[in-house]
Amino acid sequence: MGREVPGSGIRVEEESRTRTVAPPLYRVLMHNDDYTTMEFVVEVLQAVFRKSATEANQIMLHIHHKGVGECGVFPYEIAETKVARVHSLARKTGYPLRCSLEEA
């Protein structure tokens, strides 16, 4: 689209710029409990969050010692889906494992 310069018959094209805004990010936090096995936590970290065995073990130990640990940072919809997957897997296996979201 352009506009015409008054009285000149000249049409001036205007450049429009579209700025995309990155969606807000959310941290997925996993919480320690007294019943979920360390092995299950590692399996979930590998399956849901695509962590290597080494990374998963490090995160699991952090959760075990500190009470909570970060599994990853994602846009809201992805973070919400990952939390739901963790809760579903935990429910199916009878563990009370919980995750939560926190704005990054």
What H or E segment, with its residue span, contains residue 59? helix 53-66
| pLDDT at residue 84 greater than cutoff 90 | yes
pLDDT in tens, 50-69: 999 999 999 999 999 999 99
pLDDT in tens, 8-21: 777 777 777 888 98
Domain residue ranges of the chain, discontinuous segments joined by +: 22-103
| Nearest C-alpha neighbor of 79 from the set 65, 100, 53, 62 | 100
DSSP secondary-structure letter at 5? P
Cβ 74 vs Cβ 82: under 8 Å: yes
User: Three-state DSSP class for 49?
Assistant: helix
| pLDDT at residue 77 greater than cutoff 90 | yes
Rounded CA separation 17/64 (Å): 49
Q: What number does CATH give the domain 22-103?
A: 3.30.1390.10
